[in-house]
Every structure is written in C-alpha cells, then in structure tokens.
Amino acid sequence: MKKNVKKVVLAYSGGLDTSIILKWLQDEYHCEVVTFTADIGQGEELEPARKKAIELGIKPENIFIEDLKEEFVKDFVFPMFRANAIYEGEYLLGTSIARPLIAKRQAQIAALTGADAVSHGATGKGNDQVRFEIGYLAINADLTIIAPWREWDLNSREKLLAYAVKNGINIEKKPGKSPYSMDANLLHISYEGLVLEDPNAEPDEDMWRWTTSPQNAPDIPEYIELEYKNGDPIALNGETLSPASMLTRLNELGCKHGIGRIDIVENRFVGMKSRGCYETPGGSIMLKAHRAIESITLDREAAHFKDSLIPRYASTIYNGFWFAPEREMMQAAIDKSQESVNGTVKLKLYKGNITVVGRDSKTNNLFNEAFCTFEEDEVYNQKDAEGFIKLNALRFIISGKNKKAQGR
C-alpha cells in the first residue's frame, strides 16, 4: 500500500531511467517532485538535466543542481584514503563513497523544501539502494523512501522505453554514450552488464572511457612529487592544490599513463557476486603515494594496527554505513595516526605502473640511517639481538623440551 506523499526529492541525473522515475512519481503518487542533481565530477554537462526537468513539469524553484566536487573529495574521498581503504583487496570504493554525500544532501534539500519523501533510481539487486536508504535514515528517519524499482512492473528495457514513448519522454541517445551500465565521479568510473556478465569474457578495449591502454601509453616515464600533510595530498610538483583540483590533476596523469584499470568479481552486500570493471587513475596514484609516506612516518605497531582496520573499514563503506558510529570510531583512530604523516613522495608513472622512487619527511621521519646502516655504527650493539631472539623463542624452547621429554 502506497503512503500518502505530498512532496518528494528525487536523485535525478537527467537520463532516461530517472526521467521515467520522475514521471512515474507524478503519476503514481500524485505528488510534487523536487529534482536534485549532484555534480561530483562525473564529467557530464548538467544543465540539460534542468531543461529535461522543466519539460517534465518541474517548477524551476524545485530544481537543484549543485557542485559538490570539493566537499566530495575533502570530506569523503580524502578521509577514506587516509585509511588506505580497499574492498576485497582491489576495489577502491569509487561508487560506494559517493552515495552518502548524495543521500545527505538529498535529505537536507527535503528539509529545505518541506518535502516528506525521497526517491532514488537504484535497483532492488544492487548495493546502492542500501547505501542511499541507510544514508536517508541516518539523516532523517521520518522521510518516506520511494524505491521505484521495488514497486513498479517496468522490469525490462522494452517496458521502460514503451513507458517513455507513451509519456513523451525524450529517449534520444547521447552521441558516444556507452552501452554498459556506468557510474562516474571524480574518483572513478565503473562498468557493468553486457559481456561483463560472463566473468570469463575479456571486455573490448573500447569499453574503457578514461585511461589510455598501457600498451599505448607514453614510452617515456613521468616523474611526479606529492606533498602530504596530516595524511592528505596538498601539493603536486610543488604546486598547492585544492582537494578536487588535486584529484583532477592526478586523474589526468593516471589516464595518460594507463593507470588504474581493474577487472574484478566482488561480493555484493545483498548476497550475489557481481563482475565489474573500474578505472580509478588518480585514486590508484594516491593510494601508492600514501602508503609510501606512511612507511617512514608511522610507528610499526600503529601502522600494523591501522592495516588491521582496512577490511572492516572498507566493508563498512561498501555496505553503506558511512554514518555509522563504528565508522566514525575507526575514522577517529585513523585520523589520529595521520598527525605524523607529513612529507613528500616521488613516483614514476609508466605504462600502467606506479613505482615509488623516493620518500622524505623533514618533521616526522622514523627512518634513522644511523641504526639501519650496513656500515659501522656507534648506536646499535648487535650482541643485544641474542637476548631478544631467545626471549621471543622462549615458548618454543619450553614446548620443545616437553616434546623431547615425552619422546616426541
């Protein structure tokens, strides 16, 4: 049974699916619709979304198109990269980390406009429905959530197109649009569907939209230097950059050198496995550089403890729990560790590879040449190692004596 809804805020891209949802909400719920389009660096012109919404009867004051790129990188991407978060060993969480920001702002717009409901275009099979809706509920549990894909019978491409034609919704295909199901933002672009539904089939080269093929990347390596402060990159080759500008520049470098492609089968939160391909050029560079600067600035046990949090932290984001207290607790510990992560990292970019060729910290360097040199030194007594080794082996010594006494 449908709830009585007066006004709903729709996460709106201006594409076919969300345009159909917009009309469907008007027809099925007989409510006022507010559209919200977030610019998080997906690389598309967003003003056509405004035009499309007006064509579908949305009042100009009910159309929100907002540039959230700086907030996205500063408050969501950078904190995640301080954690070196990576899901199931490979996925850099490009889609996962965008959803809480969109959900938060969507709920805020609902409050601003007096809306009593929110809606999204995620399907009932995917992770995004969970991420969006947990986000809504975390911000305002009183909002009614409308998930059309779980309600309507438009469960095929043919039915969607027929609905569009019947209701005068423009279905003109954009020039150069990929046939794959894609999601893009400033951190990554993802691909699903078609040949990718066979995990044993290699995708065609023309699927990749951003990165140069490593085979065709420049034959001459490029060297760059990243400066870090409190775990965040703040300057590239000596030029101070804002968070969004930093990621934009690193994306350009990564794309040029064929960096950041992965082809994986992942475990969705809802239960099934899913095959997807991803391009995360700038993020791949950031991850490599961040681990390099941490290698000389983090205490050993602090670093190992922090690494132990990665699977839990990454799953928390992947599953949609950005606003959960456990994520905030882990973030507090991670951010505390980053107070000493200051310095520079030199990288070589070459044909899909990122090689660390230097790292330095003027203020927090724990790499002490006097202790680790292979040459003669006056600070380390090598005889001390004998007692250290015996103490660490004591449990084995005792166990061995017991086995010997028992004739084993």
CA dist., res. 109 & res. 34, Å (int): 9
Check if the beta carbon of residue 86 is closer than 8 Å to that of residue 291. Answer: no
Phi-psi region of 204 (alpha: psi -120 to 50; beta: other; left: phi over 0): beta
Catalytic residue, from 13, 19, 96, 99: name it.
Answer: 99
CA dist., res. 3 & res. 125, Å (int): 23
- H helical segments located in 36-93: 47-55, 69-72, 78-82
Catalytic residue, from 128, 183, 249, 340: name it.
Answer: 128
What are the DSSP E strand ranges found in 207-254?
A: 222-229, 232-236, 239-240
Tokens for 34, please give them. 């507010």
Tokens for 279, please give them. 């391009």
196, 180, 185, 182: which is closest to 265 by C-alpha? Answer: 196
Check if the beta carbon of residue 76 is closer than 8 Å to that of residue 97. Answer: yes
In this structure, what are the phi and psi dihedrals at residue 98, rounded to the nearest 5 degrees? -80, -30
CA dist., res. 182 & res. 361, Å (int): 40
In the chain the first and final C-alpha atoms are separated, in Å, by 72
- Which one-letter amino acid corresponds to residue 235? A
**CB neighbour burial string for 223-251, b if at least 16 within 10 angstroms, e if fewer:** ebbbbbeebbbbebeeeebebbebbbbbb
Catalytic residue, from 116, 178, 181, 360: name it.
Answer: 181
Active site residue 99: yes
Active site residue 308: no
Check if the beta carbon of residue 171 is closer than 8 Å to that of residue 164. Answer: yes
Map residue 99 onto helix, strand or coil. helix
Active site residue 82: no
Active site residue 384: no
Q: Which residues are catalytic?
A: 17, 99, 128, 181
